[in-house]
Chains A and B, each alone.
Chain A
Amino acid sequence: MATMTADAIRGDLLRIMRQLREDWDWSGEIDDHTGVFRDLGFESIDLIALGSMLEEHFNQTLPFAEFLTRAREERVEDITVGAMLAFLVENLARQDAQPA
């Protein structure tokens, strides 16, 4: 996969989240500060499903389970869209950096 910029990844993530918002009849705005549990009513399993969708979209394996575990260990109250973006930027960049 060609290297994506953080802006491009952000654009894709927000577009996906907004498409999902339509599926769920949720009308609020989605931005970096949107909390998936507080604002979108996610349960943990929804994040796992989102992980599968993002892997499919970016066609890359992502350590989503570790991401969730780290959040749990750090007692993070909510996972924001911004935190997911940082996770994606970090891991997509890391995989791009690996030799073919």
Chain B
Amino acid sequence: MSTTILFGLDGATFDVLDDLVARGVMPRLGRFMAEGARGTLMSTVPPLTPIAWSSLVTGRTPGHHGVTGFFQHASASGQALQIVSSRQLQAETIWSVASRQGVRALSLNFVVHQPPPRIDGAVIPGWVPWRWVKRFSHPPGIVERLGRELPSFDVRQLAMDFEQERRAIAGAPLDDHEAWIRLHVDRDRQWFDVFRHLLATERFGLAGVVFDGVDKLQHALWPYLDPDCAPQLGRREDQQTREACWKYFAQLDRFLGETVSLAGADSTIFIVSDHGFTGCRDILFINTWLEQHGYLAWKANVPVVAAAGRPGERLADLEPDFYELSAFDLSRTRAYALTSASNGIHIVVRGARSADGIAPEEYERFRSELVRKLLTECTDPATGQPLITAVTGRDEAFAGPYMALAPDLTLTLRDHGFVSVRRGQSILERRPAVVGTHHPDGVFVARGPGVRPGTSIAPVRLVDVMPTALYGAGLAIPEDIEGRVITEIFDMDYLRQRAVRRIGDLERVPVAAMATSAAQDAEILARMKALGYLE
């Protein structure tokens, strides 16, 4: 039986991968791309991990899958916020679509998969602290089984260290570059060991794994990976850090080689990323800009972030935090940014989430005016250059039944950075050095039966990956998704022999219901026993 594989590289960009192939760091990737088809994989707006991976695994746009950020409103009304989990993912994943067509699926390290969907197969979600990996994995007993069967298995190494992640993503200086790289070399090795072991010992028709060290290294160490920065890094210790980064990618290259061997020649493998990467230096204090323009009032106890001290200390204080939930005096605020990474602005509309704010009938005029000012008046004090290059309304970025959960506006900054939601002394600070940030252009590479070798295709969307992978696996595709099969990667003979098949949603089982279905639990229990998970 062949296995269709999603080989996920969180945050991968051709800017880095092509350079590493040219340097000989990733020869297997070079061969893979030569034997397959490649193109830019366009991310969501904003290009943010939970939103983007959710679109990739569901084939649905964000307004249809319901995930709008790391933190999001719990409902269309009220102030309550939620930390995103699979309970907010309102669309069926590729794993359960395959599962209900009789194909077992394996999902490793995908975000927004906790608590896990009860598929026929196995799920170990990503972005889960080590204490919770066992409880949030499916089927029950899989983590204990891995502990018994894999001598190298270490759940603490597999799981995420969130404090370190937060510092690195925020651009705070790292104490030790090589330790950061080693952490991700070891963690990705854990995920690959699990992936290889489960593929070797069980039968899966569809398997996916995400290596998120790509994103983490690029956030913290972008100058060492960006070919454009290389000429500026001439010190011996710079070269050592670059070579340590290359070792991380060389390991990924070996993982890819082993995956190709393990899957066999009749399997289709997709290398995909949720977004790309680039460098940034701006820190835009968007709430401070909103305050200066009369849109926002801070609560009295919210401090202005420190602007004194040594560069490292100062930077740590100035950097974006993930969220500030209650920093604003909503009775005097009409627009605010709630979370850093979403780059979203919420408009306070009377009767929606608050008794205060603008009147509902003023909304369109107010929003148009705010967009105009953001694009023309939010400028670099030194040069007058606009800091914001695009403002996307939620009726575009989040069109669909869950639009009301999303920010009203999503900002794209001139260097693609994340806004800071803190109270700054000025609207703009510059980091002393470039850090990595998300870019909309990710990677798509496919190789397998019927895939035209050496093909470059026009940019495709994240939502196209799910139907294309299902098609590659010989499975039917849900009718109601926004994605399409990327037919241009396949040769005509292959397409003629295999029509794209559709399935309706008559048998659809909502994710939340799947997690609580007693009948399905019983069926899974029986299968787990058969597989040796339970005695």
Contacts and interface: CB of A to CB of B under 8 A. Distances in A.
Contact of B83 (A56, A64, A73): A64
Contacts, number: 67
A65 B71 contact: yes
Contacts of B80: 61, 63, 65-66
B114 A52 contact: yes
A43 B129 CA distance: 9
Given A23-B135, A61-B74, A52 B326 contact: no
A56 B115 contact: yes
A46 B516 CA distance: 23
Contacts of A61: 74-75, 80, 82, 87
A66 to B, nearest CB: 6
Contacts of A69: 325-326
A49 interface: yes
A49 B136 contact: yes
A45 B162 contact: yes
A86 interface: no
Interface in A42-64: 43-46, 48-49, 51-53, 55-56, 59, 61, 63-64
Nearest to B516: A59
B228 interface: no
**Interface size grouping (class) on chain A:** 20 to 34
A39 B530 CA distance: 39
Contacts of A73: 326
Given A61-B74, A65-B71, A24 B131 contact: yes
B317 to A, nearest CB: 17
Most chain A CB atoms below 10 A, which of B71, B75, B85, B516: B85
Interface in B502-535: 512, 515-516
B163 interface: yes
A21 B72 CA distance: 30
A44 B83 CA distance: 12
B132 interface: yes
Contacts of A23: 131, 134-135
Main secondary structure of the interface of B (DSSP, over half): loop
A8 interface: no
B149 to A, nearest CB: 19
Nearest to B160: A45
A93 interface: no
B128 interface: yes
Contact of A52 (B71, B85, B323): B85
Contact of A43 (B81, B163, B323): B163
A5 to B, nearest CB: 22
Contacts of B128: 49
A37 to B, nearest CB: 13
B81 A53 contact: no
Given A52-B85, A52-B115, A46 B326 contact: no
A4 interface: no
B81 A65 contact: yes
Contacts of B71: 65
A23 B516 CA distance: 22
Nearest to B163: A43
Given A52-B114, A56-B115, A20 B131 contact: yes
A70 B135 CA distance: 27
Most chain A CB atoms below 10 A, which of B75, B87, B135, B163: B135
A61 B131 CA distance: 22
A43 to B, nearest CB: 7
A33 B469 CA distance: 51
Nearest to B299: A73
Nearest to A51: B83
B81 A49 contact: no
Interface string A2-35: 0000000000000000001001100000000000
Nearest to A55: B87
A59 B115 CA distance: 12
Most chain B CB atoms below 10 A, which of A20, A48, A61: A48
Nearest to A63: B80
B73 to A, nearest CB: 10
Contacts of A64: 82-83
Given A61-B74, A69-B326, A46 B132 contact: yes
A43 B326 contact: no
A64 to B, nearest CB: 7
Contacts of A52: 83, 85, 87, 114-115, 136
A65 B163 contact: no
Nearest to B134: A23
Given A56-B515, A65-B81, 12 more contacts: A20-B135, A43-B162, A46-B129, A55-B85, A59-B516, A61-B82, A63-B81, A65-B323, A66-B79, A69-B325, A70-B326, A73-B326
21 contacts: A23-B131, A23-B134, A23-B135, A43-B162, A49-B114, A49-B129, A49-B136, A52-B85, A52-B136, A53-B132, A55-B87, A56-B87, A59-B516, A61-B74, A61-B80, A61-B87, A63-B81, A65-B325, A66-B80, A66-B325, A66-B326
Interface of B: 71, 74-75, 79-83, 85, 87, 114-115, 128-129, 131-132, 134-136, 162-163, 323, 325-326, 512, 515-516
